[in-house]
Amino acid sequence: MRHDHLNNVAVDATEVAVAQAADLPGAAHLELVEGVIPLDPEQSVLDAMLAGWARQQRTRFLNEKGTISPRLTMVRRLVEFTNAYPWQWRPADAEDFIAHLRSPNRARPIAVSTGRGYETTLALFMSYLSDRRYGWPEACERRFGAAPQQIFTEDNRVAHVTEYEGQPGRRPLTFDEVQALFDAIDARVEQAQDLGRKGSLTARRDAALLKTIYAFGLRRNEARMLDVGDLRRAPKMPQFRQYGGLYVRYGKASRGSPPKRRTVLTIQEMDWIVDVLDDWINEVRPLFSPGRLPALFVTERSGRMSLRGLNTAFSNARDAADLPPELDLHSLRHSYVTHLVEFDYPERFVSLQVGHEYASTTAIYTGVSDEYRSRLVKRVLKSRHPDLWENE
């Protein structure tokens, strides 16, 4: 008797917990309108599911534009591809979708990392729908006689077997390539000035922009969101004046956290950036008439630059320097990491400069030259066998 009583208590406690959990943001009964028969019940339930999932993600402070909206779009793409609704999906439907996207017959088959991202998004959506705390399985069973099920498992998802899965053509620029890039854009500035063209201001801005991205190892959005007030003095390096570092306020966020912040110090090997920024701040930027706009890099219409504008600045300079087309703006960040390693800065310092939590991430960015490897090997040999190098 006592055993049965304990079981009943456990069941009651479970029912209470489920009842409380049913009020979770995104729960079916909070999204569906009971007692109303919609003209298109399937579409109405799908819309309610997406609204509920969006609400659930907002409570986790995920980014609306960068995370939630693309995820909802991905679900709608699978609906359109299968011509079916989530409670009708089966693993074979998901597999056909991914196979279609990576087909060699497509103009641009998706990369492995992209496919994994799509699979993760859809798996998260189906986990939300199949979680009985939210009530969607019961709602679908009652309305359509079928409940949503997980469509991606370990058996049909991309295995993560390598640290780096980006395009193999993306790599750090060599020192000579960085110099060629900057020479090309400086030549564009001189040419525009000689011809008296209006574009000389834009060329000077792009030159300062790209040099700043390289000199501080910035991501695109980090550079775009810089304000003039983010320039920092370094007390121990007064020779850099107000350009001793940059305060990055829009670092890459993770897991719903706000953008990460860090201060990137100006290093001795990049001290040339001091004159570049000084010229930009005091001579060139005022000619754009930015008014009270705080943005460090501005457009001809006195606005903050767009991400596309940053990409265009790099691609124009890259093409003018006749560098490989697979190099992109992010390659400058890879170059910064690599060159700091070759300057013999400690690994931890490099990670802090670029905002990497783990040294393994920094290692992925690093592509040191053969010359550096040779110097490193020689240094180790000299330390272990000094007698062999006495006459050198």
Rounded to whole angstroms, the Cα distance separating 13 from 232 reads: 57
CB-count burial class (<10 Å; 0-12, 13-18, 19+) for 153: exposed
Whole-prediction pTM value?
Answer: 0.68
Same domain, 344 and 222: yes
Task: Based on the fold, state whether residues 125 and 218 are members of the same structural domain.
Answer: no
Q: For residue 203, is it within any domain?
A: yes
CATH number at residue 372: 1.10.443.10
What torsion do the CA atoms of 157, 163, 168, 174 make, to the nearest 10 degrees?
A: 160
| Position 389 in a domain | no
**Per-residue pLDDT, 155:** 86
Evaluate whether residue 13 is within a structural domain.
no
DSSP 247-309: EEEEEPP-TTPPPEEEEEEPPGGGTTHHHHHHHIIIIIGGGG--TT--BSSB-TTSSBPPHHH
Structural domain total, the chain: 2
Same domain as 216, residue 339? yes
185 and 55 in a common domain: no
Q: Which of 91, 124, 144 marks a domain boundary?
A: 144
pLDDT tens digits for the chain (392 residues)?
444 544 444 444 444 444 444 578 899 989 987 766 778 899 999 999 999 999 999 998 888 988 999 999 999 999 999 999 999 999 999 999 999 999 999 988 998 889 999 999 999 999 999 999 999 999 999 999 999 999 999 888 876 544 444 566 678 999 999 999 999 999 999 888 877 666 789 999 999 999 999 999 999 999 999 999 999 999 889 999 999 999 999 998 876 678 899 999 999 999 999 999 999 999 999 999 999 999 999 999 999 999 999 999 999 999 999 999 999 999 999 999 999 998 989 989 999 999 988 766 676 666 655 555 555 555 545 666 566 555 55
Question: Quick one: DSSP state of residue 198?
Answer: T
Question: Which parts of the chain are beta strand (E)?
Answer: 231-232, 245-251, 260-265
Note whether 263 and 377 are same-domain residues.
yes
Whether 22 and 93 share a structural domain: yes
Residue 166 falls within a domain, yes or no?
Answer: no
Residue 391 lies in a domain: no
Residue among 180, 284, 189 nearest 228 (CA): 284
Q: Are residues 219 and 300 part of one domain?
A: yes
Q: Are residues 126 and 191 in the same domain?
A: no
Domain boundaries, position 81? 18-144
